[in-house]
Chain A
Amino acid sequence: MHKNISRHDGCTVTGALTVTTFLRDSATIVHGPKGCCHQAVSVLHSSMLYNECFDIPDIFSSAMDEKNIIFGGEDSLNDAIKEALDEDFRCIFIIGTCISDTIGDDIESVCAGFNEKDSVPVIPINASGFLGGSFEDGFISALKGASEIIGENCNFSDKYSDECQIKPLVNIIGEKNLEYEVDANFSEIKRLLNLLGADVNLRFIRNITFDDIQNFNCASLNIIREDTTGDIKRHFEKLTNIPCISSYPYGISNTLEFLKEAGEYLNINPDLAIKHEINYQKEMFESFSDLRGEKISFDSFGFQKADSNLFTEIARHTGIVLDSDGVTIPIPFFTPVGTGGVFHMLSQWRRFING
């Protein structure tokens, strides 16, 4: 049995869908009973609405019934793939469920059958519902599965080619598509890269097309949103030879280190960018000068271990005093990304302190 099974996020199927459904011209088939698909799509859809994403992604179910459960569901999967191929998708992902895994359906070989004869890739995602682990395991499997689309060579024939020559480009990997701050976090990373004179090549995978992925190798650095297991970094390094930074920067000094590290990988002297960022951080703390001398304490409400160093550093820079009798500040569920993230967090602290 897998450790780290987090039920509030849904099973591996939901995790995988948060990746595959953000490739715009693809379809995803959940191979299992309708219920699995319904349950995963409900979680996905409500989180998307919360993030003001109103598109309804193309998700199908192979709708396994009792007969499939008794005799195996590979035929149903075959039919579902055929049906999806009739439409205009550029690629089709297949996500297995507890049910199809338990009864021994061989999803890979069903997909292989199509890949021999069809030009549209049919890509199996190693998921298996709760049998395969947690939401996060499904998410990682889907990133790995989708990476099969990455072309061998950089396609210099399209709009990317010029930029690719002029400034170094970076791929962003594994954005948390259901996270409320996903675009704000992305803008922050883009701002930092721009400071260095670099830019974003591709968001793998967030609202991109199949053809976009062909340009993956135009980048000279990959930045992963978060890689707690090290699995994502290992996979993409092996696959592409592009160096990897395994996390978005968090907080104050870590953001400066990030600029330094990215600069090294991109062969850019980061000194100017770092100088600029230090000034920017100073200005930001100045705008919170009203908080100087205030007393606060942190509470994680049991959700996560507070990375006290990071929050203590922010408090120190602002001139806030840590005191167990001070105003209780909840540790945010997601750690603030970059200097921009710190700005938003301090605005929240101000509300608590003045509230």
Chain B
Amino acid sequence: MKQIALYGKGGIGKSTTSANLSAALSEKSLDILQIGCDPKHDSTRMLMHGQWIPTVLDLVREKGEGNITTEDVVFSGYNNIRCVEAGGPEPGVGCAGRGIIATFQLLEKLDALYGDVIVYDVLGDVVCGGFAMPMREGYAREVYLVTSGDFMALYAANNICKAIARLSKRSKPCCTLGGVICNSQNIEGELGLVSEFAEKINSELTGFIPRSQIVRVSEVNKKTVLEYAPESEQADVYRKLAEKIMNTNPDPDKKPTPLSMDELETLAQKYIKA
């Protein structure tokens, strides 16, 4: 079983990337479970044809943990991809990070954490240790950083990189950096910038997803690109990404090297011209 986690800044397009990646993986006749960890709970919507599925934490709140069954929280979406949304507390109250771990533990108790690939779709710009917990607890085995050439997105990615670097110093590290995925925002010099960023943190660019109108059109139609426009070039981009990830076996001895704030700024200045 491969357990991959996509971490990245909120709004960077993680959900779109995760859903399309899951869809592409499912074409390989793999059994996929996708878990959305954003309190916005829109990770699996396109896989569910626009349906908002109930979140685990909402159910815990309403019914109590003991009364929840697998059927209540795991929903079958496109190509039998199993979809879960962790959800979160009201903004400003409670701890979403802790909630996510509670969700994983509940799924484990329900024997629902299985499949060929589990895709965790995790927020990475929250100033909360709780969001690094999936790595610490051994759920997120291979982490992919989703970023664009936007400075704040790189900053968030670099922070997650720091978390992995710290965890990999432990005697039994259980989490490695798989690579960097660039979800393009059409920023000038973006490919060069993100590639160099990946290299500098001792990793590699796993995929470059060009900005494409077809993504938006598919979303309006409440589908992933893989389902709405399977013949499109964009669908192939996601297939290639899926292929690459399936063939990646990150070396646990290869430690990430996060950048300092100064290094990150210098790098950005090199590519982003005012």
* Residues of A bordering B, CB below 8 Å: 66-72, 74, 102-105
Contacts and interface: CB of A to CB of B under 8 A. Distances in A.
Contacts of B93: 71-72, 74, 103-105
Nearest to B91: A104
B94 A104 contact: yes
B98 interface: yes
B102 A72 contact: no
Nearest to B99: A70
A35 to B, nearest CB: 15
B94 A66 contact: no
A44 to B, nearest CB: 28
Contacts of A103: 93-95
Interface residues of B, number: 14
Interface in B124-183: none
B59 interface: no
A71 B102 contact: no
Contacts of B102: 66, 70
Contacts of A102: 95
A163 B30 CA distance: 88
A74 B98 CA distance: 17
Interface string B47-68: 0000000000100110001000
Contacts of B92: 104
A71 B91 CA distance: 10
Given A67-B65, A103-B94, A104-B92, 7 more contacts: A66-B98, A66-B102, A69-B94, A71-B93, A71-B99, A103-B93, A104-B94
B158 to A, nearest CB: 23
A72 B98 contact: no
Q: Is the interface of B mostly helix, strand, loop or mixed?
A: helix
Interface string B73-104: 00000000000000001101111101100100
Nearest to B90: A72
A70 B57 contact: yes
A66 B65 CA distance: 11
Contacts of B96: 70
B127 to A, nearest CB: 11
Nearest to A105: B93
A36 to B, nearest CB: 15
Contacts of B57: 70-71
B47 to A, nearest CB: 25
A67 B95 contact: no
B98 A70 contact: yes
16 contacts: A66-B102, A69-B95, A70-B57, A70-B89, A70-B98, A70-B102, A71-B57, A71-B61, A71-B89, A72-B89, A72-B90, A102-B95, A103-B93, A103-B95, A104-B92, A104-B93
Nearest to B92: A104
A68 B89 CA distance: 10
A104 B89 CA distance: 11
Interface string B29-46: 000000000000000000
A74 B95 CA distance: 13
Contacts of A105: 93
B128 to A, nearest CB: 9
Contacts of A70: 57, 60, 89, 94-96, 98-99, 102
Contacts of B61: 71
A72 B93 CA distance: 5
Contacts of A74: 93
Contacts of A104: 92-94
A68 B95 CA distance: 9
A70 B65 CA distance: 13
Closest 9 CB pairs of A and B: A72-B93, A70-B99, A72-B94, A71-B94, A104-B93, A71-B89, A104-B92, A103-B95, A103-B94
B125 to A, nearest CB: 18
A105 B61 CA distance: 17
Contacts of A69: 94-95, 98
B199 to A, nearest CB: 35
A306 to B, nearest CB: 42
A103 B98 CA distance: 10
A74 B60 CA distance: 17
Interface in B187-239: none
- For B93, B94, B99, B102, the residue with the greatest tally of chain A CB atoms inside 10 Å of its CB is B94
Contacts of A68: 94
Interface string B243-271: 00000000000000000000000000000
Contacts of A66: 98, 102
A71 B55 CA distance: 14
B51 to A, nearest CB: 24
A66 B60 CA distance: 11
A54 B88 CA distance: 46
Contacts of A72: 89-90, 93-94
A205 to B, nearest CB: 33
A67 B65 CA distance: 9
Nearest to A70: B99
Contacts of A71: 57, 61, 89-90, 93-94, 99
Residue in A66, A68, A71, A74 whose Cβ sees the most chain B Cβ within 10 Å: A71
Contacts of B90: 71-72
